[in-house]
Amino acid sequence: MEITAANNKRSDGLAIYKMKLDKTRRPRSGATDKLTVVYVSTFPPRVCGIATFTEDLTHAMDEMLAPMLTSRIVAMSRSGVLGYRYPRKVFLQINQDNQEEYTETALRINRMDEVQLVNIQHEFGIFGGGRGAHLIPFVQALRKPLVITFHTVLPDPDEELYNVVRSLAESASAIIVMTDLSKGILAQQYAIPQKKIKVIPHGIPSQPYTSSQQAKRTLGYSDRVVLSTFGLINRDKGLEYVIEALPQVIRQYPNFVYIIFGATHPEVLRNEGESYRNFLIEKVYGLGLYDHVKLYNRYFPLSELLHFLKATDIYISSSLEPKQAVSGTLSYALGMGRPVISTAFAQAREVVTGEVGIVVDFRNSQAYADAILRLLEDEKLRLQLGENAYFRTRNMTWANVALQYARVFSEYAPGLAHISEQKSLPRIKLNHLIHLTDTFGIVQFANLTRRDVSSGYTLDDNARALAVTALYWGKLGSSAEDPSVTKQKRELLRLVNTYLGFISFVAQSDGLFQNFVNSDGTLDDVSNQRVDLEEANARAIYALALTATTASLPKTIRQRAFDLLQKRLRSGIFFNSPRAIARCIKAFCILLDGKGHIEGIDLKGTLRSYCDRLVELYQAVSQADWQWFETYLTYSNGVMPEALLLGYRALRDERYLTVGKATLDFLIKQSFVNGIYVPIGQDGWYHQNGKHHHFDQQPEEVNSMVDALSTGYAVAGDEEYSGLMYQAFYWFLGDNTFKQLVYDRTTGGCYDGVGKTTINLNQGAESTVSYLLARLVIG
């Protein structure tokens, strides 16, 4: 038997979602069109750490906020250096030694109405005059809000340094530094008000945690223990003290290699040529270390740099400058999850704790030798330190750093007051969904980003994943002439067939579905008998209805989904769980909207009885201060009010609209705190007359709220629902109690939840699919 929708052009299981998307619109940006932040900094292709920092920061800002907010660059250049071929983002240049150009540039920026704020990425060496004093006329002439990021904060200032920093600070609305130590120095030794100083860490690339083995193989070091240092080479690196420590190490670990990768600093090259590098080479040969020390003399693009860091077993940060406020290379190494041995410069004293590495004295080769040997002798410790470093630096990814910059900017520029609330939607990315899916189905859990096959499979997750693929297929449309779309559709068809195959496997002879499957592909009878299967079955019914009525899917797939659905419905659809009832309501609305017909099943009558059941549950429990279906709020709460609103749309029973809105409004009241969406926490939930628990927060609850608010706006026409829908979705993008991204733009996965003190960095099936479902509803 074939579902009617298979031959009806108007029949489409996506129709209800198209209706929702047509009526749900993005909050208007109003005056935020074509707004600009100008960054004064060096910029690539100039080889400079500040240039790289600014490139990474502005890329993250643009990825998060464009086209509502764009980044433009005023690039600092040097006298006597031929002009760089800058990208279009650079619209002005200042010769750092020409004082007049500073004032002229400030006046020009003042005339640009679209410029809302200026951010100076400050390092003393990139501005002319004593201690960079040429910058003072610029900040004094500027009439735009100004935020200065100090990369270097020097303690014990002399009079000249004190006056320059104070003059810059007095003109700034806010100052950003990268460590608490730097903030303390500015407040105590420069008399800058603490409330003016914000601490935002140095950014790092977002990369999955990996062991060193795979990268070592590709670099030809698979049988070696790798120590590394990277960055622009100069005498302040103190590399000779590390090299002098190595003979002791090699006597015990002859497979040891120390890789130093990075070009000589351009200023050093200009002033003294390669004298320092030649000195290091002579030391290497003098100590007989030529097989154990490798120096790569070139500037590494980010992808290669990260590859070398991935191949690293121990990272060395050997600065000789105790006052060095921050090291981007140290931040990157920690962010890649590598244990660190570092000298006790300013940033290291703050971040290199005993949980992530070892701090050693300056110019002390024996201390290096002892530290290296300690980590080589204890592999378990070495790996644990690296994992700790990775987990502790997730707040430092460029996306999270950009979020913090956006919040600071919006605080001081009136035109940007709401810009951090209007984020760009990440493009839909199925990479992690594909990674979690093998030939049998989607694997339940993940260890960080790696799928944990031992966790087995569930119908819950495979049904959710099937819904994602059906919705995304409909979103791609019929652009068969586009090769990229054609490629995506081939992959989607593989996924759809995999998930349908899993549902077919768990379908029993009576049509009912089992939920849990072991990693070896056998049914987990113990779990299936212990856990109520209603909700898993209802999820499958919904996903199959959606797939069967998605008219643009191949007929064979729709028929396969329909056959499974028909058999399941005929086996009995008597559910008691309110959430299972709600998901069946959603499924029946899709079928009715697609003019689907199942012989022997009264879809409209069953839909009405289930809607009535939810109303009865509401009437039995609700009070003036508790407008809900149960005496507690737990998970996937939004699905119940959403179901009644959809039931109203299908049946036009005003009771469903009244109760649907009342319960959705109640859920909103319990879930939004000071403009931030705070999902009900699973550690205790929220019981009537009990404590409202806010942690741990789960992506599944966010998904259900986004869906409910989207439906609320589409059905009831209440514009507040549209704005709240985006606020709820932005939980994934950093508008949450932890103020960090829960969605991983790099992998396309989603973290498993937000706890009271940390984010669960595992990217399992439920969380990833919940994000994708919410993203597809958003548009």
Position 417 scores a pLDDT of 78
The whole-angstrom separation of Cα 388 and Cα 203 is: 18
Average confidence (pLDDT) over 246-270: 91
Position 198 scores a pLDDT of 97
Lowest mean pLDDT across 32-36, 168-172, 344-348, 442-446 = 32-36
Higher pLDDT, 475 or 443: 443
Highest mean pLDDT among 11-20, 312-321, 714-723: 312-321
Judge if pTM exceeds 0.75. yes
pLDDT exceeds 50 at position 9 = no
Q: Under the phi-then-psi rule, with left for phi > 0, alpha for psi from -120 to 50, and beta for the rest, what region is 558?
A: alpha
Position 463 scores a pLDDT of 97
Backbone torsions φ then ψ of 609, nearest 5 degrees: -65, -35
Position 6 scores a pLDDT of 33
Confidence grade of residue 484 (pLDDT, cut at 50, 70, 90): low
The whole-angstrom separation of Cα 431 and Cα 322 is: 44
For residues 248 and 373, the answer to whether their CB atoms sit within 8 Å is yes
The whole-angstrom separation of Cα 778 and Cα 725 is: 8
Position 336 scores a pLDDT of 94
Residue range 405-461, pLDDT digits in tens: 999 999 999 888 777 667 888 999 999 999 999 999 999 999 999 999 999 999 999
Position 29 scores a pLDDT of 41
The whole-angstrom separation of Cα 547 and Cα 541 is: 10
Secondary structure (3-state) at 606: helix
Higher pLDDT, 571 or 704: 704
pLDDT exceeds 60 at position 30 = no
pLDDT exceeds 50 at position 8 = no
CB atoms within 10 A of CB 629: 26
Choose among 226, 174, 225: nearest CA to 200. Answer: 174
The whole-angstrom separation of Cα 418 and Cα 69 is: 11
pLDDT exceeds 60 at position 2 = no
Lowest mean pLDDT across 413-422, 458-467, 473-482, 662-671 = 473-482
Residue range 115-156, pLDDT digits in tens: 999 999 999 999 999 999 999 999 999 999 999 999 999 999
pLDDT exceeds 80 at position 617 = yes
The whole-angstrom separation of Cα 189 and Cα 150 is: 15
Confidence grade of residue 477 (pLDDT, cut at 50, 70, 90): confident
pLDDT exceeds 90 at position 612 = yes
pLDDT over 90 percentage in the chain? 73
Position 420 scores a pLDDT of 64
Residue range 90-101, pLDDT digits in tens: 999 999 999 999
CA angle 601, 606, 607 (to 5 degrees): 125
Distances (CA, A) of 326 to 352, 364, 661, 697: 12, 21, 52, 34
pLDDT exceeds 80 at position 52 = yes
Q: What is the mean pLDDT of the chain?
A: 90
CB atoms within 10 A of CB 503: 23
Distances (CA, A) of 369 to 221, 242, 247, 358, 361: 21, 8, 9, 12, 12
Report whether the peptide linkage leading into residue 254 is cis, meaning its omega lies within 30 degrees of zero: no
